[in-house]
Amino acid sequence: MEWPAVKASKVLKALINLGWNIKRQKGSHRILGKSGWKDITFAFHDREEIGPRMLARIAKHTDLTPEDL
């Protein structure tokens, strides 16, 4: 799987489209939840670029795929 570098706002939008929701937020730290999954912390500013290695790490804890972006 080849992951591109993507803006954090686009990744967050893709996660929300996959059924994740923002449970709470404090600054740039958002706690995302989805039934049947452990909560994850999404701690990126919207304009920040997320590189391929971090995207792979996010995908490991969510059901995100490169096609979702």
For 30-42, write each residue's pLDDT tens digit: 999 999 999 999 9
How confident is the model at residue 37, as a pLDDT? 96
Residue 1 scores a pLDDT above 80: no
Find, among 10, 8, 13, 2, the residue nearest to 56 by Cα. Answer: 2
User: Cα(36)–Cα(30) distance, rounded to whole angstroms?
Assistant: 18
CB 42 within 8 A of CB 49: no
Stretch 45-67: mean pLDDT, rounded? 94
Residue 50, beta-bridge partner list: 6
How confident is the model at residue 2, as a pLDDT? 83
Task: Tell me the percentage of the chain whose pLDDT exceeds 90.
Answer: 88
How confident is the model at residue 32, as a pLDDT? 97
What's the length of the chain?
69
Stretch 38-53: mean pLDDT, rounded? 96
